[in-house]
């Protein structure tokens, strides 16, 4: 989302989102599901970001981060 600041300079808003709580009993990164808390957190983040006009998203799928 681009916003024009007080001085007329175009600014970009960046949102950093950490992953929701995964089920650590499943050790397969590709099929690991979310816990009940993770599902609830995902809904909250979705609702927050829904109307933000996000143009692009970047994801890091790096084990250990």
What digits encode the pLDDT tens for the residues 6-34?
788 888 889 998 877 888 898 887 788 88
- What letter would DSSP give residue 55? -
Lowest mean pLDDT among 3-7, 20-24, 47-51: 3-7
Q: Rounded to the nearest 5°, which phi and psi values hold at 24?
A: -75, -5
Structure tokens that stand for 42 in this block: 């995902």
User: Would you call 54 helix, strand, or coil by DSSP?
Assistant: coil
Q: Rounded to the nearest 5°, which phi and psi values hold at 26?
A: -95, 115
pTM: 0.63
pLDDT at 40: 92
């Amino acid at each position: 989302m681009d916003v024009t600041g007080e001085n007329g300079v175009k600014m970009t808003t960046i949102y950093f989102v950490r992953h929701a709580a995964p089920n650590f009993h499943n050790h397969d990164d590709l099929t690991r599901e979310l816990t009940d808390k993770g599902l609830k957190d995902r809904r909250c983040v979705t609702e927050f970001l829904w109307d933000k006009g996000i143009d692009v998203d970047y994801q890091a799928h790096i084990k250990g981060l």
